[in-house]
Structure 1
Amino acid sequence: MGVELELHTGRPILDWRRSRKTFLRGSYAYGDELTGLLLLMADSGPGVLPHVDPYGDTTLDEQQAAAALREIPEMMTRCTSDAQVAAVQDLRSLLRACTETPGSYLWFVGD
């Protein structure tokens, strides 16, 4: 299953059923690939993505999402398959949407 991504209009309540009130869109297709890449990023030093816990829940606000967008090229260099590239492109799309939606949060729903 791996980590899933959900974009919310505001800070989500970290409870799947109750969080539906703020839900905008989600990504559930690349969980395993994204988990593997996040684990690889954990050794890359400072930044936002190295601190995302693929096994727990992590939320990013608009400013954190903007910082994470700058880390996408580094994550892309770690891809070894088309599925991983698709996972990073999907993440980039949701990070951009978060930065463009005032008050929004991107929720990394850990496995």
Structure 2
Amino acid sequence: MGIDLQLHNSRPQWPGRRSRRKPTLVRQSHEHGAALAKLIAELPTNTSGKLWTVDPYNNTVFNEQEAAAALREIPDLLDRCTDNSHAEAICDLAAYLNDCATTPGSYLVFVGD
């Protein structure tokens, strides 16, 4: 199980749907999927945070406002890291959240297995 990250510059297009819009994918990360899934799965549920809502088995989409809210959860996630691979995964997530939060009209997609 893993969670990949995709940053889009506008509402993402999903495969199989016909659209005349240009591709929206800016960049993606597959490197830390397993570590990211583990850390997110261990978050307490039903809190005021956003990251616990990420579904490790389906796609979860955050807009720029949701990414900004989730960015505030990064320090707590870093405190939960038990090794370097976890810390690298959270730093990668933080970079994607920051880019989404600071780019008007962008979306961050968490691609679950």
Q: How far did residue 44 of structure 1 move?
A: 7.1
Residue 46 of structure 2 corresponds to residue 47 of structure 1: no
> Alignment RMSD, CA only?
2.2
Residues 3 and 110, structure 2, Cα contact 8 Å, conserved in 1: yes
Matched residue pairs, number? 111
Moved more, 13-22 or 45-54: 13-22
Q: CA deviation at 1:45?
A: 2.4
**Quick one: distance in 2 between partners of 1:78 and 1:61?**
25
Q: Structure 2 unaligned segments of length 5 or more: list them.
A: none
TM-score of the superposition, structure 1-length normalised?
A: 0.90
Q: For structure 1, which runs of at least 5 residues remain unmatched after alignment?
A: none
Quote how far apart the aligned CAs of 1:15 are: 3.0
What pairs up with 1:14-93 in 2 under 5 angstroms? 14-15=14-15, 21-43=23-45, 45-93=47-95
Q: Larger helix proportion, structure 1 or 2?
A: 1
- Structure 1 Cα separation of the partners of residues 28 and 3 of structure 2: 11
| Corresponding position of 1:97 | 99
Please give the TM-score of this superposition, normalised by the length of structure 2: 0.89
1:6 and 2:6 equivalent?
yes
CA, structure 1 residues 4+92, in 2 after alignment: closer, same or farther (shift >3 Å)?
same
Whole-Å Cα distance in 1 between the matches of residues 53 and 59 of structure 2? 11
Q: Please tell me whether the aligned partners of residues 13 and 23 of structure 2 are also in contact (alpha carbons under 8 angstroms).
A: no
Percent identity reads: 46
Residues 14-54 of structure 1, C-alpha deviations (whole Å, 9 max, x = no match) = 33998981000111100000000010114472210011111
